[in-house]
Structure 1
């Protein structure tokens, strides 16, 4: 059973990078995270280039590193999401070790299988209602912050 100390360590300087090109989806995500993960700082990257700029800047600032990345697969095409996932996984540690949850409106089995084969930590089919977004982010909180033990971010030397 996890202790409050272990759970608290997951929340310490907790940040999520949300890579989402659809502003309407970002607003839903931001709202749901505000209600379910108010202790966590969210950073929005609207484009793959912006996401890589954030990660490159943070790669030399351990205290800025996100504990989780939410990556929209179709940005606007699936190939953009796959390419970004590959770029992140090719970065030096600790960036390459950040868990990545792939988000998509697609429930196609090939997309789901590819996401895991390419290094995604989880795959989520995007909800369609506010209630579903809130339920998803409550589960995200329960799993990624209150159940698992996240490793401390350490730079390679």
Structure 2
């Protein structure tokens, strides 16, 4: 049974945010998205308890605090380290992938170039996590 997710989307590219929101809008399950423009903003939202996400969708290449720096910080936080964090990025660099998995990500998705492929992969990602048993 699918359930709505509280999603923290950490992405600095406005077009990517728009694409992600468009996918979510077209799904039957009504997920709630909180947006952060970079890792620093996301950390502040989590620190202030402004959001309590079920999952975090994280880009790697961002200003201020990048995705990998954010990931390392959050995985040291006993209250937040079990939030599934999925990388959604343009980087298919093996070093990035390996380092992200070593730092506890739940998945790594390279953003497809074609819009239809992006829609399909993002939809599958959200369907999986909305039917998964998450730690609250």
Residue of structure 1 equivalent to 2:41: 50
**Counterpart secondary structure, 2:16:** helix
Match of 1:145 in 2: 130
Q: Which residue in 2 is equivalent to 1:89?
A: 75
Based on CA coordinates, which of the two structures has the bigger radius of gyration? 1
* SS at structure 2 position matched to 1:97: coil
Q: Shift of the alpha carbon at 1:37?
A: 6.0
Shift of 1:125: 0.2
TM score, norm. by length of structure 1: 0.78
Deviates more, 1:33-42 or 1:18-27: 33-42
1:61-99 deviations in Å (ceiling 9; x for gaps) = 7xx41100001011149x822111111111231x12100
**More helix by proportion, 1 or 2?**
1
Q: Which runs of 4+ in 1 moved over 3 A?
A: none
Alignment of 1:11-50 (within 5 A): 11=4, 14-36=5-27, 38-50=29-41
What's the TM-score once normalised by structure 2's chain length? 0.89
Structure 1 residue 116 corresponds to structure 2 residue 105: no
Please list every run of 5 or more consecutive structure 2 residues that lacks an aligned counterpart in the other structure. Answer: none
Give the CA RMSD over aligned residues: 2.0
